[in-house]
Chain A
């Protein structure tokens, strides 16, 4: 690969062509006008009577399945509000500006600051994995604009941002479940079957994997106290193509349970190789990888009875504070409109806007950042993902949502259906069957 070019374009000059300075000036004027308009494009003045909500989500890239339902949710929110917000008799325009993080934390920080500085949003909402929520929340914290985030367990959101439990953050608020919940759900599922209590752990070296595998705050101490033995072959890199080392370690330990928090392609690789190498545990409870039906479908029949944490289903007994629609209604509308099976982020994407609208409405002055922040901190709202209350959180700035566990089963309404089997931590959420071993 060699690039040989003239150091200076001035080596040859066409004799036929007479330089026209006017032409050059004209084209450069056009170019500079384009640049200037490009800049001024980012300097839209904020209309006093329009409230803006910025929304960052990974519309493209590997995290795109999380954002698949965004358009549907946004259409529903816009229809419910009619692009307006009324409080204390004053009607404000409401604009929701959506930016794509491209599943890239660098880009997430960039689009967040575009929203903060050029669109001058009054409130930021952000969703889907620490790689999206954290850079956006950091920009909001420094720029002193309130931010609501979700769909990332609270520990990687809180601790890797340098959060201290007593101090918390000034402008950034988060709602989701935490590791303690997923540990409780997983161990509940595992205890409902007769096993040798030998667990193989697959934790990648990323935000989630480090938190789940943490010696003090993650799975290891809780499993030890409940009599499980954990075989943890160490952190692997995402997008690995060979899990032989892990599989042979699990076989050696005679692991009947496999757990971890994996990205979907890695779980597919692992599960396929485990089958090839004759390793079939009774239970496979894996976070993150098994959220979307499309991942389970790629496994063919081998996806039957794989288990996962469940944060939201159409059978959750909750309804929207914005539209009054129940979880069942929203999921059914999604399937009717898009022809696709419901996914868990639907509920949370909707809840983000419930919280946002609620905080803006209670703020007194939705154009004042601190008023909105104060209203947000005092939120007590029954949403489509359950009741939210920031004063009851495990740490400052965090509100928890209920978590249950369940399995993917063949032969229901869709190719695979997600069935709630374990609701010990949230009995209000009905189960759809008992926990079964992988055949």
Chain B
């Protein structure tokens, strides 16, 4: 980790925390371990992990929007759906390789996000949230009219295209797995560095006081708009990956507000909004609950609702927010800390 600490006589400003220094090598080992999954995990585990990874990406992106840019959107399923449909258009009609189609899907989502974002950014707060949902519904209705894509009935990904991903079943599954892992790790790293950059500083300023940040020269509109486009790009790629695994798309599946936004909001809120660690915790909590309770029928959904209510009442900052506050932990720190120990304790001289 780059040591960003600025040496000042007697005091220092640092970004790294003790935990973050310990955690970094552990995280690297974990990623290497996960990357080796095709050699140690079963097919079912790998499939489950792909699902965990794409939910992690969706959660990171929603958190970036809501937790950092203050853009509470309940319409991110628009970009999942567009990404998913671009996978089908790209592979079935344009003959693009499925993995290349994942990138194409991200680009297409980002391009469509330009006019959509420009439109939505005329709305604020709850109006923005509902507007985003309306926009996603509009996309759903538009795709339902396209008969080449099966209209409201949807279509399946031809077996030949699935087989073209790689030679053989295990190679195919490994490639899809690595793509998902790459997206997940990539999104966490990207958000981390984004927030530590000047851009992140601007975001923090906007979040704390939009008017004041404007007086300091921060272009709030452009900063938020860029975040919206980045989130659309990554969400679009994730959408393509999701439907590469689902094999079948229909407007209701692609633009499902429950699957691609409500569950994601659950994860971010449970884990801790406005932290990078929060969505990771939230995704884990969600999947642990699902693995054990999904067969309970309606009771499973009631359980999710209850958990959400309890966490919001007892730990409004989510699980990670609670942990971080009580134990003072930060594994992926993006804030600057003023360290006064060296002033108060003369025995601790700054290093030279």
Binding site for B on A (CB under 8 A): 1-14, 17, 19, 24, 31, 34-35, 38-39, 41-43, 59-60, 99-100, 104-107, 109-111, 113-114, 117-118, 130-131, 134-135, 138-139, 141-142, 156, 160-162, 204-207, 209-211, 235, 237
Contact A2 B125 (CB under 8 A): yes
Name which of A8, A14, A110 has the most chain B CB atoms within 10 A of its CB. Answer: A8
Q: Select A138's contact among B247, B291, B292, beta carbons within 8 Å.
A: B247
Contact B320 A9 (CB under 8 A): yes
Using C-beta atoms within 8 Å of the partner chain, give the interface range for chain B.
Answer: 35 or more
Known: A9-B329, A142-B159. 13 other contacts (CB 8 A): A2-B70, A3-B274, A5-B272, A19-B327, A38-B287, A100-B295, A118-B45, A135-B248, A156-B153, A162-B156, A206-B153, A207-B154, A210-B150
Within the complex, the shortest CB–CB distance from B17 to chain A, in Å, comes to: 7
**B interface secondary structure, majority:** helix
Contact B327 A3 (CB under 8 A): no
Query: Nearest CB to that of A42 among chain B residues?
Result: B44
Complex CA distance for A46 and B256, rounded to whole angstroms: 34
Within the complex, the shortest CB–CB distance from B29 to chain A, in Å, comes to: 14
Query: Nearest CB to that of A211 among chain B residues?
Result: B153
Contact A134 B67 (CB under 8 A): no
Interface residues of B in 113-158 (CB under 8 A from A): 125-126, 129, 141, 144-145, 147, 150-158
**Which B residues are CB-close (under 8 A) to A34?**
288
Binding site for A on B (CB under 8 A): 17, 42-45, 47-48, 51, 66-68, 70, 72, 125-126, 129, 141, 144-145, 147, 150-159, 162, 195, 204, 207, 245-248, 250, 252-253, 256, 258-259, 272-275, 284, 287-288, 291-292, 294-295, 297-298, 301, 317, 320-321, 323-330, 333-335, 337
**Which B residues are CB-close (under 8 A) to A142?**
159, 162, 247
Contact A10 B156 (CB under 8 A): no
Contact B154 A160 (CB under 8 A): yes
Name which of A4, A106, A206 has the most chain B CB atoms within 10 A of its CB. Answer: A106
Complex CA distance for A382 and B207, rounded to whole angstroms: 69
Complex CA distance for A10 and B331, rounded to whole angstroms: 10
Within the complex, the shortest CB–CB distance from B103 to chain A, in Å, comes to: 23
Query: Nearest CB to that of A24 among chain B residues?
Result: B327
Contact B152 A205 (CB under 8 A): yes
Contact B246 A38 (CB under 8 A): no
**10 A-B pairs (CB sep. < 8 Å):** A3-B70, A5-B321, A42-B44, A60-B297, A100-B297, A109-B246, A110-B51, A110-B246, A117-B44, A206-B152
